[in-house]
Each structure stands twice: as C-alpha cells, then as structure tokens.
Homo-oligomer: A and B are copies of this chain.
Amino acid sequence: MNNKKQDKILENLKKYQKKDFSFSKGQILGSMCTQPLPIAKKAYNMFLETNLGDPKLFPGSKEIEEKYLFFLKKLLNAPEKSQGIIGSGGTESNISAIWLAKRLAPSKKELIIPESAHFSFEKIASIMDVKLVSVKLNKNYQIDIKSAKKKINSKTLGVIGIAGTTELGVVDPIPELSDICQKENVFLHVDAAFGGYIIPFMKKLGYNIPSFDFKNLGVCSITIDAHKMGCSAIPLGSLMLRNKEWLEKISVDTPYISSPRQPGILATRSAAPVAAAYAVAEYLGVKGYTNLVEKCMNNTFYTVKRIDEIGLKLVAEPTINVIAIKLKNPAKVVNLLTKQGYKINKMDRFSAARIVVMPHVTKQVIDKFIPIFEKTCKDAGEI
C-alpha cells in the first residue's frame, strides 16, 4: 500500500466533499434523507465485505437480515406468514411489488395510482408496460376514494395507496382502500417509503392519523425505507409481503450461488446497510424512534409557526413532518437560497417549496434558517 498516494487521493476527494451540501451542517432542509446515526456508520463499516446475494457465504449477516425483518414485521403489524425482501430503497420495492402483482394476475395491465404517487411508478409503467390510471385527489390531497373505486375493472392489476406522499406528506385513507380492494379482490400496495418509519410512532404519541399497515386486511404489500426516517444509511429499503409464498412468484433459479432460488430484483447486495438498519433499530427501539418523531413533529409545528409569522402560506396543514410552502416563483427562491448555502426542494406541481423536518433539522437549524429565508423571500418579491 502506497500511503502517500492514498493520502493524496483522499485529500482530493475532500475537495469534492466540500462542494457538497451537508445534512449535519444543517444545510439540507428539503430532502427525505438524513445523516445516519453514528451507530449506523459503525455497523455499516463492519459488514462492508459481505454479499447477501450469496447468503450461505455470510450466514451471520443473513441472521442479522432476519432479525431486522422481524423488527419491521412487528412495526407494520404483519401477520405470522408475512415475509420481506430487503433492497436498495423505495423505487426497487415498488417495482418488486408491481412485479408480484403482475405475476399474480398476468393478464391485467392497469395500475390505479393517486395523482400524488412517486415518480417510481412512471418508471414502473415504462419498464413493465403497465398503464397508469391516475386518480384525482380530494380536498385533503388524499386519493379520492369514490373515484378510485370507479376506476377498478377487470383489467386492474393493482391499486396504490401512499402513506406519506413525497410532496405533501399526506397519508391516503388506507382503511377505505383496503376494504374496497378486499371486496374487489384487487392487489393493494402501500408506498410507505417515507411514512413507514414515522406514522407508527406518531400513533403512539396519540396523533389521529389513518392506519396504513397490515392491520388493514386488504393491504398486500408495503414499501418502507430505513434510509429515510429510519436514520440508517443508503441503500436500505424493504418490501414487506403479507404472504411469504408470494416470494416464489418473484424468484428465479440461481444454479451457481449458495441458494437455489433468489427472490427480488437485485442479486449482489451488501449486508452493511442491513446491519446499520438493524443496529439503529436495536439502539433506538420503539421508544427511541417515538422520541425522535416527537422532536421532529414539535420542530415541524415550530417551523410552521415561523413561516406563518413571515407571512407565507402553506399548500396544506402538514400531516407529518413535511411542509409545503406556497411561492409565486419557487425556482427563484430555491436558487437564491442555494447561493447562501441552503437547499430546500422546489415542487413544480404545487408552485411550492418543500421543507422536510428530518432529525438533523433541529430547532437551532430552523432558527438560523428562517431569517435567511425571510430575507430571501423579500428579495424575491414573495412577501
């Protein structure tokens, strides 16, 4: 090992790193990701040389995976015979869910999604030749149940409900969707990539928020990401299935690795992010996550109050820790903030900008940001 050469390359990487905006410095206020907990990083490092795609080479890592999936099963009130697949994140999980729905009903081609669905469903439509049937939103920006029901027909492959939409953090009325889908015998997939790690804890805190999990008997599968509110490291998303026998529908023969069949999309995948997510789950537990979510929600309400005080309006009252601020020219405001070292996300569809009050968006971060935001909005002619 040539240490001098190595140091030079790492020094060079640091120069690039300095150009990045940073979660820990409180610069990124618009992302659904956050800095991993320190224990996540430590656990990640321990398992950097593993491959769960060849599981019998890494039986210890495989045990960690099973333990983490057990945590998710409990979190999502999944039945005994449920099973999960761990992958890279929400997009992969959503693809796998629709892949499964297609294998269960090969002749059906129409996927019913709310207008608020994540762009991963556009990818799915393009990859799988699935036709997206978009359902309008009700006044609360949730999927309109009556419209959704009307769209179901003999060609319906499945229905998507969202627990924590990407733009507004809205939770669809999953219990109603579940009833309809059960009655119509249609596959219901819930995209809780973001909400999955916050809604269960908000319920424990007494928030009145619709149930989205497997308690709803029509829910067939759920996407949930540990690298968002789970405070673990990218890449870590899971697809939970009500019935473990369904795994077989999305499995292929693997005649030259250590398992005879492999479910899911990706083949080679490291146990490092799995160990990280498991370590965080063990470290925080339900109590720790509940405390974390309580802080995020308190900071959300505090941010809303501060935004109100500077005279800006929201698209909707936040359901979870996602705040959408109406702006005449979001791109202009976002660009001006970028120059000052801050990143919030613009949202074209609502003429708005998004702040996600993740764990790294503390009261201190907000207190520092709001005056800069106020001045920027004044300069941009928003207020």
Contact = CB atoms under 8 A, between A and B. Distances in A.
Interface of A: 1-2, 5-6, 9-10, 12-24, 28, 31, 33, 35-36, 38-39, 41-51, 54, 56-61, 63-64, 88-92, 95, 99, 102-103, 119-120, 122-123, 126-129, 166-167, 225, 227, 233-235, 250, 252-258, 262, 265-270, 272, 275, 278-279, 282-283, 338, 343, 345-349, 354
Given A23-B49, A283-B9, A267 B127 contact: no
A270 B237 CA distance: 13
A345 to B, nearest CB: 6
Of all A-B residue pairs in the complex, the 7 with the closest CB atoms, nearest first, are A19-B60, A16-B60, A234-B270, A122-B252, A20-B60, A20-B58, A255-B348
A278 to B, nearest CB: 8
A129 to B, nearest CB: 7
A204 to B, nearest CB: 21
Contacts of A2: 283
B5 A283 contact: yes
Contacts of A23: 49
A49 B63 contact: no
Contacts of A33: 51, 54, 268
Given A235-B268, A266-B91, A14 B256 contact: no
A48 B36 contact: yes
A119 B267 contact: yes
A266 B234 CA distance: 12
Contact of A16 (B15, B63, B95, B256): B63
